[in-house]
Copies of this chain bind each other. A is one copy, B any other.
């Protein structure tokens, strides 16, 4: 389906700077784009590609000023990334295959219930008392234990495993291989050196609009609930231990780990491979850098922390630079000692 650059601009409240009559029919990356496509420029790192791109149009920021000649057309908008995302969404909706119906063989307990317009893939399993809302999509090879509840419009991709009694809200996306509700890691050391398991009797509650990436694991609470609040976005291979609480709209990057009973505030960002110790609190809008290690509570809101153990970002940057000079400093101290 072809539409003109002018029509694209109208869809995203943008202004054409160039020829709006040219037709386009697809979205491509600025560094790989070919004639007939629309690209975008949000990260300044990619600015050099603007001057060589073959895209028919590039979405740029309102105040973008070209420093060289270019042969494409511009669509100026307030936020190129969001505008492009909007186009991607329109494109996705046009091309998506919406699955519905029940594929066989699948396993539905007689006491499970299923809403309207549901997709239940082959080899998926609904335990006793499990409840699916309307428009839920359960891809193949998925396991939903007894009494699991899934809210409206939620998508559960292939091979997800959700233990008994856990609840997932509406409009969530749970990617393949995710495990929700496995036992927390709780063992009481005995005098003979062995461990005794602490029974894990709680569940996991995932609120609405939560996304969870592939192969992430979320343990059930020892008592009560491990809670992922609405709007939280969790990447792949993240570990969330028992009784953790993740605040609203908090984003957690891949391979980060949250230990037991950690309480993460709202609108926090946790970097990839970062580790959060148990039984602590992170204030709202805290930002934790990649590979950072957080040993204790952060009470002040909105600060940025790096390193293991963490320090403020500014201190981390200074420390990293000087660390490299350390052998040199020691040499200088030696020389000072000689002189004295």
Partner of A224 from the list B29, B82, B193, B326 (CB cut-off 8 Å) is: B29
* Residue of A185, A224, A259 with most partner-chain B CB within 10 A: A185
Per-residue interface assignment for chain A, residues 277 to 307, with 1 indicating a CB less than 8 Å from any chain B CB and 0 otherwise: 1010000000000110100000000000000
Q: Which of B82, B158, B173, B175 contacts A145 (CB 8 A)?
A: B158
Q: Please tell me if the beta carbons of A266 and B193 are within 8 angstroms of each other in the complex.
A: yes
Looking at the complex, which of A6-14, A15-23, A69-77, A247-255 is the stretch in contact with chain B?
Answer: A247-255
Q: Which residue of B lies closest to A107 (CB)?
A: B122
A214 at the interface (CB under 8 A from B): yes
Considering the chains assembled together, what is the distance between the CA atoms of A28 and B201 in angstroms? 10
Encode A190-209 as 1/0 by CB contact (under 8 A) with B: 00011111110100000001
Q: Across the interface, do A214 and B214 meet the contact criterion of CB distance under 8 Å?
A: no
Q: Is the CB of A32 within 8 A of B224?
A: yes
Nearest chain B residue, comparing its CB with the CB of A236: B217
- The chain B residue with its CB closest to the CB of A45 is B279
- State which of B95, B143, B209, B275 has its C-beta within 8 Å of the C-beta of A291: B275
Query: Contact mask A212-229 → B, CB, 8 Å, 1/0?
Result: 011101010011100000
How far is the CB of A242 from the nearest CB of chain B, in Å? 10
Residue of B161, B193, B241, B253 near A249 (CB, 8 A) is: B193
CA distance A186 to B275 in the complex (A): 22
Given the contacts A188-B81, A239-B236, A254-B185, A198 and B88 also touching, CB distance less than 8 Å:
yes
Cβ distance A13 to chain B, nearest Cβ, rounded Å: 15
A3 within 8 A of B: no
Instruction: From B28, B198, B330, give the contact of A329 (CB < 8 A).
Output: B330
Residues of chain A at interface, number, CB under 8 A? 112
Q: Which residues of B are found within 8 Å of A175, using beta-carbon distances? A: 179, 182-183
- Which residues of the partner chain B approach A223 to less than 8 Å between Cβ atoms? 27-29, 88
| Residue interface mask A110-124, B partner, CB < 8 A = 1 | 000000000001110
Q: What is the distance, in angstroms, from A1's C-beta to the closest C-beta of chain B?
A: 15
- Contact between B143 and A143 (Cβ–Cβ < 8 Å)? no
Contacts of A255 in B (CB 8 A): 239, 255, 257, 275
Say whether A123 contacts B141, CB under 8 Å: yes
B-side contacts of A79, CB under 8 Å: 188
Query: Is residue A273 within 8 Å, beta carbon to beta carbon, of the partner chain?
Result: yes
Q: Does A336 contact B (CB under 8 A)?
A: yes
Q: Is the CB of A279 within 8 A of B43?
A: yes
CB of A187 within 8 A of chain B?
yes
Q: Which 10 A-B pairs have the closest CB atoms?
A: A143-B158, A161-B176, A179-B214, A92-B199, A182-B214, A214-B217, A88-B199, A107-B122, A217-B236, A175-B182
Cross-chain pairs A/B with CB under 8 angstroms, 19 sampled: A32-B224, A45-B279, A88-B199, A92-B199, A107-B122, A139-B143, A158-B161, A176-B182, A182-B236, A185-B233, A193-B231, A213-B219, A215-B237, A237-B239, A239-B255, A255-B257, A273-B273, A291-B293, A332-B337
